[in-house]
Homo-oligomer: A and B are copies of this chain.
Amino acid sequence: MQVVSQNRSFGGEQTVYSHQSETCGCEMTFAVYLPPQAHNGPVPVLWYLSGLTCTHENAMTKGGFQEAAADFGVAVIFPDTSPRGTDVADDDAYDLGQGAGFYVNATRDPWRAHFRMYDYIVNELRDIALKNMPVQDCHGITGHSMGGHGALTIAIRNADMFGSLSAFAPIAHPTQSDWGRKQLSSYLGDDESSWAEHDSTLLLEEYGWKGDLLIDQGANDQFLDLLKPEALANMMAKRRQPGQIRIQQGYDHSYFFVNSFARDHVAWHAERLS
């Protein structure tokens, strides 16, 4: 692992690392914020998965998670959103290929050689964090848009690994959205039965979530038709899933929205991980 950059932030350290990923077969970059409490011993860790077009950097610089993470003594890991590099398959569209890994393990060419973000997060990056950083094996997960989809699907399928779960404007029902059908068919093929385990509304229907959920969604989000929060809200109510969906008046899909509720989410996770 190589240190790409390191900056003091709210008394802790914001570090960017690069490493050769066995899972993705390429060099990967991720960021970790360690709060000042990490000097005194391992701290719980919150995973933040980013949305389409993002790298590890967007939320690290614009999300505003560090202040609350320092207040509550939680580490935050910001993975990249896909494998990268000239040897890695890509597509001209912003919503497929590099920057758009969708947190699945691709099974179709040309994607399957590198696009294994599901395994990368759940296994490789978790192991790296536990071996190299002062973090407890005690994880919360959140994310924005495609990253909200990643957080919900990864946590529900790995409930033993995650103690808390939230999302910002998640792609909530990708099997019924143009943000989903295109990517799932490209990465997984046309057999839609293989898609269900990557759809948080369907996963919630089948498994529920062991704890309570926090979902924030801007009422003025320009992508509401693609995100389909109504499917998730319907399923939560139908399944009597504890938690809350907050429709936030006036907010759009930007990092100004994420930033405005970052503290709420860090506090939510800290309370449930402690």
Contact = CB atoms under 8 A, between A and B. Distances in A.
A248 B8 CA distance: 10
A256 interface: yes
> Could you say which interface size class chain A belongs to?
20 to 34
Copies, count = 2
A9 interface: yes
Interface string A232-274: 0000000000000000111110111101100100000000000
A232 to B, nearest CB: 22
A14 B64 contact: no
Contacts of A51: none
Contacts of A252: 7-8
23 contacts: A7-B257, A8-B248, A8-B249, A8-B250, A8-B251, A8-B257, A8-B260, A9-B257, A9-B259, A9-B260, A10-B259, A10-B260, A11-B260, A14-B256, A61-B62, A62-B62, A64-B64, A64-B259, A66-B256, A66-B259, A67-B67, A67-B260, A67-B263
B256 A8 contact: yes
A206 to B, nearest CB: 35
A18 interface: no
